[in-house]
Amino acid sequence: SLIRLTFERFLHLCPAENIFIVTNKQYAGLVREHLPELSDNQILTEPSRNNTAPCVAYTAFKLQALNPNANLVVAPSDHIILQEKNFVDTLETALEFTAGNDALVTLGIQPSRPDTGYGYIEVQGSKFDVKGSEPGENGVAVSVSPVYKVAAFREKPDQATAQQYLESGNYLWNAGIFIWRVETLLKAYQQHAQDIHRILAIGAPKYNTPEEQAFIDEAYPTTPSISVDYAIMEKADNVYTIPSDFGWSDLGTWGSLHAESDKDEAGNVLQGEVMAYGVKDSLVRLPKGKLAVLGGLEDYIVVDEGDVLLVWPKSREQEVKKITGEIEDNKYL
């Protein structure tokens, strides 16, 4: 599973007892099934879906109680990393930088195409070494590592803007992989996301005790639902990035799953029982026991999740999130 691969990848960076998983309560059993090495204290369960800012803050408060000097890496579990050594080396560079600087670091992926499915990071021109100093006289610096100040975060662009970003050379894909010291992060919450900080700080004496879950069950749903990107990263002025290349893909999109999967001679990724006639460059994903007969589709996503059947042009995948919201708002499920 992807979560198992992510767990094993981080074993190259730290011991198993230093790896924590944050998940919704309903998936805790599944996490234990895939990662039996973890103790209950290493699985943080959210009682509600409040986006990433509250869950990152919860993790930070919990780890602060264990080790106030902890360095923290936050990474999704659905990413493909093909070059694991490069990935670990990049994280070690980031950890060295955050250990010596009051910095929030996000990894940026060198773009290989004008992709409209990712947010972008605009970088400033100057490099920083791991001490946080800028290049010296004549632009020369000793022992410079590729850490850059972030100029701005950009929303998912249209095709023309994505092409401009690619050609400019100073934009990176936002991978959603973050590195920071717990102390630095919580200081940023105190400054930029006071409500989240105030609500979760109350539980400081209860983290890593039998009282933790009861506190989280009561307090967590009252936190604002907002991403850590919006709550912290786009507001803070001590944000840095490392341009990275380690064979990355975000399988949070069906298009990226199609791009990274093995394909048949027509460019299709067919997962399940499929009879395909004149189908090209499409992704078809079916549950066990379901047969699909498809004809004349090109560049489509066909996904049957039981309650919902999605048939959608792959080039317009970014619209799916909006449609999903409409389904939930209208209580179709």
**pLDDT mean over 305-319:** 84
Q: Which helix (H) or strand (E) holds 44?
A: strand 43-46
**pLDDT 10s digits, 182-212:** 999 999 999 999 999 999 999 999 999 999 9
Percentage of the chain lying above the pLDDT 90 cut:
68
In which band, very low, low, confident or very high, does the pLDDT at 247 lie, cut at 50, 70 and 90?
confident
Helix (H) or strand (E) holding 186: helix 182-192
pLDDT given at position 233: 96
The pLDDT, as a whole number, for residue 325 is 66
Enumerate the domain spans of the chain: 2-250, 255-329
For the ranges 38-42, 135-139, 228-232, the lowest mean pLDDT is seen at: 135-139
Examine the pLDDT at 256 and tell me if it is beyond 60.
yes
The CATH class given to the 2-250 domain equals alpha beta
What is the rounded distance in angstroms from the CA atom of residue 183 to the CA atom of residue 188? 9
> Which residues, 6+ apart, have CB-to-CB distance to 260 below 8 Å?
80, 249, 251
Residue 298: pLDDT above 60? yes
Helix, coil or strand: residue 31: helix
Integer CA distances (angstroms), 179 to 46, 71, 72, 74, 327, in order: 22, 7, 6, 6, 35
3-state secondary structure 86-113: HHHHHHHHHHHHHHHCCCEEEEEECCCC
Average pLDDT taken over every residue of the chain: 88
In the predicted model, is pLDDT for residue 129 greater than 60? Answer: no
- Which pLDDT band holds residue 320 (cuts at 50, 70, 90)? confident
Closest CA to 9 of 76, 108, 91, 84: 84
pLDDT of res. 224: 96
pLDDT for residue 134: 42
Percentage of the chain with pLDDT > 70? Answer: 90
On the 0-12 / 13-18 / 19+ scale of CB atoms within 10 A, 70 is middle
How far apart (Å, rounded) are the C-alpha atoms in residues 299 and 161? 22
pLDDT mean over 33-55: 95
pLDDT at residue 104 greater than cutoff 50: yes
